[in-house]
Amino acid sequence: MKLTFIGADHEVTGSQHLLETADLKILIDCGLEQGENVYENAELPVNYSEIDYIILTHAHIDHAGMIPFACKMGFNGTIVTTNASMDLDSIMLLDSAHIQEQEAEWQNRKGMRAGKKPVEPLYTVEDAKAAIRQFRSVPYNRVTELSDTVKLRFVDAGHLLGSASAEIWITEGELKKKIVFSGDIGNQNKPLIRDPQYIAEADYVVMESTYGNRHHDMSVDHLEDLRRIVQETLDRGGNVVIPAFAVGRTQELLYLLRHLKQERLIRGHEGFPVYVDSPLAVQATHVFRENLLECYDDETRALVEQGINPIEFDNLCLSVSADDSKAINFDPEPKVILAASGMCDAGRIRHHLKHNLWRPECTVVFAGYQAEGTLGRMLQDGAETVRIFGEEIEVRAKIEQMGSMSSHADQTGLLQWISAFTKQPDALFLVHGNDEAMTAFSALLLEKPGIKPHCPYSGSVFDLATGRFEYEAEPRFIRREKAVSVRNNTVRQELALAAEAVRQLSEELKTGTNADMKRFTKELRNLLARWK
């Protein structure tokens, strides 16, 4: 019995780990890498056709997004996950496949003009449909036999509707071992879903460390933040525009908005409309509406048992078609608009920003992390103008940041999760975190008696029978070829002259006013961020 580390090792996305027993080959998650990658991933040491099961901890694309590709490449086994995760992935994988097809079509249109060979999408909508047919769902806390020698149980991880930690028992002759994969561990006191459920014992633990070096501000009152923002904006006659991730964050915000309406906490605008403008978010909201009692926290369960839908209220409008979306911005009534994507780099949110950013009576609210270089980060950092669809838009709307609504446990939450084991595991493997997070959390764990953390790189192989590494891989950085194209000398000279002009202007501004220096610095940083 052995474990091979493939993806999300010293990185945050692309989770994939191969567990091999005497009679089964099992992938724990099969995620798509997203954003910037630092390290090369090792090749899967077996063919996809040899894999018997994919155990999916939750529906996010960085854990599930390569499943259609695996099926395309010959995987014909069973994908085992929780009931809610299967429902969510039935829509999220189709959405991901649509994006893959669109991206390939765009590249081919561009490449055709340059005489390049056509590219194929990573997978198609048909591949995703085929993958969905291979799903099998099981409820939380039920022990499921994958074979005579391997058993599985899901425990609620509190990260997303349906998210789970996976407990796996392996028996080979007289040898018995238990390994736990944490999945993504959730934050405490989130709307709708339960807090993470703890596990008491295991021989080995594979644990995420995304926020291993960070702490959330737990004193933030999200309901009061949202109440104040909505009240002030509607009083000004403006719209509240909230970029939100389609699955999870949108439904949490709907839960808070239902509370505002139910308790009549918005004075003078009791009937204000709320629009969810994202086809994926609308479908995900329907999944949340299924009242999956096994996923909900006590407060939400109590509402459901009273016949109250926790994310439904008067004047909630779900926009699916493009015409529905366009009509929102031609309606003069002050309103709340939730639209994807959460970082404003794609999707319908860009249309709403174009129509509302220039209006001083409106508010744009960020309720999640905004990565460097994204439009959301530029707005968060105080950009005075932004370019959307080729048009320069002046930022006159109020920009607000709600306190941390992260769905990930912070360092304290991670420590609580691993400390719940009554007997410390023989070995603990940290994954799903960048170098800084893993190093900080590993150092903290080394101070705890009995905990032996490892931070393996992709390609490492651990023998679960002997409790030793069979192979410890070295880090392999992704080679970034600096392909220098032949450029016209005149263009090079013009670039050099422009750079020198920027330098000279910077020197001149040092003798000017603080306001001018501050404005120039902001605009320069925004320019650099866009190009990066």
Residue 530 has pLDDT above 80, yes or no: no
| pLDDT at site 252 | 94
Tokens, residue 197: 């459920």
For residue 498, what are its two tokens?
């422009």
| Average pLDDT of the residues in 165-173 | 97
The model's pLDDT over 258-307, given as tens digits with 9 standing for 90+, comes to 999 999 999 999 899 999 999 999 999 989 877 567 888 999 888 888 88
Q: How does DSSP classify residue 146?
A: S
Q: Has residue 494 got a pLDDT over 60?
A: no
Phi/psi of residue 241, nearest 5 degrees: -110, 125
Mean pLDDT, residues 180-190: 95
Mean pLDDT of 167-179: 97
Report residue 489's pLDDT band, with 50, 70 and 90 as the boundaries: very low
The 3-state DSSP composition of the chain as helix, strand, coil percent (nearest 5) reads 35, 20, 45
Q: Count CA within 13 A, CB hemisphere, residue 502.
A: 13
Burial 107-125 (b: 16+ CB within 10 A, else e): eeeeeeeeeeeeeebbbbb
The mean per-residue pLDDT over the stretch 146-172 comes to: 97
pLDDT tens digits along 188-211: 988 899 999 999 999 999 999 999
Distance, in Å, from the CA atom of 112 to the CA atom of 104, rounded to the nearest integer, reads 12
CA atoms within 13 A on the CB side of 278: 31
Q: How far apart are CA 56 and CA 67, in angstroms?
A: 10
pLDDT, residue 270, reads 87
Q: What integer pLDDT is reported at residue 495 of this predicted model?
A: 67
Higher pLDDT, 146 or 302: 146
52-80 residue pLDDT tens: 999 999 999 999 999 999 999 999 999 99
- 484 pLDDT band, cuts 50/70/90, is very low
Q: Which residues contact 319 (CB under 8 A, 6 or more apart)?
A: 275, 276, 277, 278, 282, 325, 328
> What are the E-state strand segments in 371-445?
385-388, 391-394, 398-401, 427-431
**Residue 327 has which token pair?**
């009509």
The yes-or-no verdict on residue 344 having pLDDT over 70 is yes
Output the pLDDT for position 371.
66
Global pTM exceeds 0.75: yes
What are residue 82's DSSP bridge partners? 138
Pair 193, 405: CB distance under 8 Å: no
State the Cα–Cα distance between residues 217 and 40, nearest whole angstrom: 34
| CA atoms 239, 245, 246, 248: torsion sign | negative
User: Cα–Cα distances in Å, from 251 out to 184, 285, 296?
Assistant: 19, 6, 13
Nearest by Cα to 400 from 374, 362, 371, 373: 362
pLDDT at 486 exceeding the cut of 60: no
Q: Which of 149, 147, 178, 183 is nearest to 166 (CA)?
A: 183
Q: Could you tell me which residue, 517 or 337, shows the higher pLDDT?
A: 337
User: For the residues of 194-234, what is the DSSP string, one character each?
Assistant: PPPPP----SEEEEE-TTTT----TT--HHHHHHHHHHHHH
Separation in Å, CA 526 to CA 7, 156, 226, 408: 32, 41, 28, 28
Q: Is 375 helix (H, G, I), strand (E, B) or coil?
A: helix
pLDDT band, very low/low/confident/very high, at 372 (cuts 50, 70, 90) = low
- Of 279, 388, 275, residue with least CA distance to 334: 275
Residue with tokens 């091979």: 4
- Mean pLDDT value across residues 458-476: 97
User: Could you report the per-residue pLDDT of 5-15, keeping only the tens digit for each?
Assistant: 999 999 999 99
Residue 134 one-letter amino acid: Q
Percent of the chain with pLDDT over 70: 94
CB 136 within 8 A of CB 79: yes
Q: What is the DSSP string of 481-510?
A: --------HHHHHHHHHHHHHHHHHHHHHT
Out of 59-68, 257-266, 460-469, 510-519, pick the least confident.
Answer: 510-519
Burial class (CB in 10 A: 0-12, 13-18, 19+), 149: middle
Helix (H) or strand (E) holding 380: helix 375-380
pLDDT at 31 over 60: yes
Residue type, 76: N
SS3 376: helix
pLDDT higher for 337 or 296? 337
Quick check: 492 pLDDT over 70?
Answer: no
The Cα 492–Cα 480 span in angstroms is: 22
Q: Tell me the HSE value of 176 on the side-chain side, using a 13 A CA sphere.
A: 5
Q: Do residues 53 and 26 lie in contact, with contact meaning Cβ atoms separated by under 8 Å?
A: yes
For the packed helices 279-288 and 83-113, what is the interaxial angle rounded to 10 degrees? 170
Residue 232 burial by Cβ neighbours in a 10 Å radius (0-12, 13-18, 19+):
middle
